Structure 1
Amino acid sequence: MSQKLPSTSRSLPIALMHAREVVMEPIREMLLASGLTEQQWRVLRVLEEAGPLDATTLAQRTALLQPSLTRIMRGMSAKGLVTQVKVAQDRRRQEVAITEAGIALIADNAGRAAEIAESWRAHLGAARFELLLDLLADLADQDPAQ
């Protein structure tokens, strides 16, 4: 006898996808006005926060697949938003850094991005907002095979 699946209204993958779409809607509107994609915004935010990173670490921190990041980096380099430099100690590795133009794009959008984040914090309440972030971090760190 097969095991009964949970209702789709209580399915974690479906619930996460619905929540992502609701959360991303105002961010997409903000980015559209700036000519950035969601993925480009993530790359800029991570580099601005962490400083120069190798491509593998950047892909992990931005939740992007390596081939997608490579394609995105080409476009961002052409726009002058990031630079790619070979690491002196290992010429096979590249380090990606944000440029002044990339920093300026973040600064131009920082106020609106903060308003969006604060609206979700206000909607959920500070404690539930932090709990949600903690639960999502726990979920992301969990090996589903265990």
Structure 2
Amino acid sequence: MRNTSADQLLHRNLPMLLLRAREKMMERFRPLISAYGLTEQQWRVIRALDECGPLEPRQISDLCTISSPSMAGVLARMEAQDLVVKERFADDQRRILVSLTEKSTQLVLTLSADLEAEYRVLERDVGAPVVDRLYKAIDELLVGLDRE
């Protein structure tokens, strides 16, 4: 019998499992997003701004788990593609507020139907209760990790 240091670990590799689950999910959704000429990062930014309203780049980075240096490039490309608009705060010219353009708002409306259809397929494939439990478990995990 092979004895490795893994034999001493009591827990499964949760970060790796979450990454594998993310990749499996993105295999379903990536083609839908890219069909509209968007990258995954761009879609995450659009979703965050659609759900939360205008945000500062740092807030978008936090919500979308995109590093600040990468976010600067993502936002510059999105602005060049007329997906977002950046405005400086009147009282503090160092701060920037990022908002969706009408083009992005229309993309959300158009793409939402396709995404919702894929979520229904997901619920059919794995079961709606599984998806509901997963949402709850991830929400609880994030709340617990934020308390640290």
* Normalised-by-shorter TM-score class: 0.7 to 0.9
Tell me the amino acid that sits aligned with residue 138 of structure 1.
Answer: E
Quick check: which one's strand share is greater? Answer: 1
Residue 8 of structure 2 is matched in structure 1 by 4
1:46 to 2:52 alignment: no
Cα distance, 1:16 vs structure 2: 1.1
Q: TM-score, normalised by structure 1?
A: 0.86
For structure 2, the 5+ residue unaligned runs are none
The offset of 1:90, in angstroms, is 2.1
The amino acid that maps onto 1:107 is: L
Give 3-state SS (helix, strand or coil) of 2:9's partner. Answer: coil
2:104 maps to a residue whose letter is G
Counterparts of 1:121 and 1:87, CA distance in 2: 43
Q: Distance in 2 between matches of 1:112 and 1:91?
A: 39
Alignment correspondent of 2:64: 62
1:19 aligned residue: 21
**Identity value in percent:** 32
The 5 Å alignment of 1:81-100 reads 81-100=83-102
SS state at 1:92 partner = coil
> How many residue pairs get matched?
143
Q: Does 1:134 align with 2:133?
A: no
Alpha-carbon offset, residue 57 of structure 1: 1.4
Which residue of structure 2 lines up, in the alignment, with residue 77 of structure 1?
A: 79
Q: Distance in 2 between matches of 1:95 and 1:129?
A: 34
Cα gap change, 1:130 to 1:145, in 2 (>3 Å): closer
Q: What is the CA–CA distance in structure 2 between the aligned matches of 1:99 and 1:32, rounded to whole Å?
A: 19
2:60 & 2:99 partners in 1: Cα distance? 10
**CA–CA distance in structure 2, aligned partners of residues 143 and 29 of structure 1:** 31
CA distance in 1, matches of 2:43, 2:142: 21
Aligned alpha-carbon RMSD (Å): 2.2
CA distance in 2, matches of 1:19, 1:143: 19
- Whether 1:121 aligns to 2:132 is no
Give TM-score, length-normalised by structure 2.
Answer: 0.85
